[in-house]
Amino acid sequence: MTSKSKNPDFKSGEQGFCDVEWSWRMLYCFQSGAAFDWLKVIANLTTTIMSLLKDVRVAILATNGFEESELLEPKRALEKEEAEVLLISPENDEIKGWKDKNWSDKIKVDARVDQVSASDFDALLIPGGVINPDLLRRDQASVDFVKSFFEDHKPVAAICHGPQMLIEAEVVKDRTLTSFSSIRKDLENAGAIWVDEEVVVDNGLVTSRSPKDLPAFNNKMVEEFREGKHAGQTA
């Protein structure tokens, strides 16, 4: 039996009624004197459905010398999916990035690492850069912050030299991951299973080798952050 719908006479000034059949519910509207903007409704519904990380709070742990693209591009990918993203650092106020073998722009710090805890967040991102993780691993509050995400089974993404922080936090034993090639031996000596792939996922732990892997890294990071806690993500 064919369904019928009564279209509103918007020009008449009388109250109109329209039924639009939807895959998951019926939309009803009452309108007088103007046409209903269905395109806006569809756009809003699409945005809501496609926002993969709405209500997910992500910490980015970094300090001076972070690789600019490895912080800013994942940050944009997370914010595109409506995640709340905060920059956490041992430093106050601002930290300076690194790009093309030179210092680059400064970025505002949202909170000092000794003022927050893993319980404040749903996931963690650790960008690389040669200087960044080398400074971070000397800061015990930063090391403890990283380790607590693993203790709470929360997803973590680290790229390039970022996995050096995972060594310091003692969370890589028997985990399959990747990194910039120069720290391969350090990871293997700490008990990690190192593989040469653009992105590796192991129970909520996402790792990649370098900026050229960012598209694949960002996709898997969003996927794992959306899934939330993983039982196999342990310290």
Relative to beta strand 94-99, strand 102-108 is antiparallel
Catalytic residue among 29, 153, 160, 230: 160
3-state helix, strand, coil in the chain (%, to 5): 35, 25, 40
In the block, which residue shows the tokens 């103007």?
Answer: 34
161 is catalytic: yes
Residue 61's identity, in one-letter code, is L
Structure tokens at 183: 């720290």
11: Cβ contacts below 8 Å, ≥ 6 apart? none
160 is catalytic: yes
CA distance 69 to 81: 18
- Catalytic residue numbers read 160-161
